[in-house]
Amino acid sequence: MSVLWDRLIECQEGIIEIFEENGTEIAEPGLDHFNQPENGWINRVWANDHVRRAHIDVVDARANRKLWMMHVCVFPDLNNDAPIYGFDVIAGPNKVTGAFHDFSPSSGGYDHEMIKWYENAVKDFVPTRERELPEWARNIFTDSMIAASMVKTEEEISTIIGFALDNLREYFKQVPLYTGSGERDMTIAAQNYYCYNQQQNPHTPNVMKSLGLNEQDVEKFCTDMLFPNIV
């Protein structure tokens, strides 16, 4: 169908493989309703002793809407001050309309060693066309976040996919080093702040509805499942 989509499906499979290698898949209460592979909607979660939630969400609407979307987010455990891993991409058959990747601060703040590692890893990459970030995104992402739009060349998308996979592998290697370094209440506050700001993004539910998903399902999913608050 599309070389670009083929590369992104390979990326999806690579991310799931990394999650399988580093964690155990868990049945998160209520999420099974939104895991509908027969309808092109995938939602799966893994965890280990150092990561409380490694989530992949894929909406595959290539056949009827000519679009494909993936969201990946990894939260460290609550006694761990490591950053939050994020990777999001939405693509048509010939271009990626948006690709976003970051190690975003949790209770360890912007000066955390893992964020410094990430910043060094991506420092030489400049997207052909950068996406300007709204206030909610500036509240939580680092200045080194990859925010690319209208990616049309296989070389550029391959570079972004390479960062997403390589940095995810490195994330799982480094995050155990910081178990026990986080204060639980501070980590809960930091991760809830991240989730609150992500929930301010109007594009996610709008895009999911435009891809043909049930509107009530999308509203509940985006409120309760995509970035769930810790209570």
3-state DSSP of 3-66: HHHHHHHHHHHHHHHHHHHHCEEECCCCHHHHCEHHHCEEEEEEECCCEEEEEEEEEEEHHHHC
* CATH code of residue 102: 3.40.1500.20
Give me the mean pLDDT over the 164-179 stretch. 98
Parent domain of 53: 3-225
Residue 231 in domain: no
Considering only 68-82, 156-170, 176-190, 217-231, which range has the smallest mean pLDDT?
A: 217-231
Q: How many domains does one find in the chain?
A: 1
Residue 59 in domain: yes
Give me the mean pLDDT over the 157-170 stretch. 97
Residue 29 in domain: yes
Residue 230 in domain: no
* Cα 145 to chain centroid, rounded: 12
Residue 63 in domain: yes
pLDDT tens string 104-118: 999 999 999 999 999
Give me the mean pLDDT over the 68-81 stretch. 97
- Cα–Cα distances in Å, from 28 out to 34, 41, 45, 215? 11, 16, 7, 22
Residue 155 in domain: yes
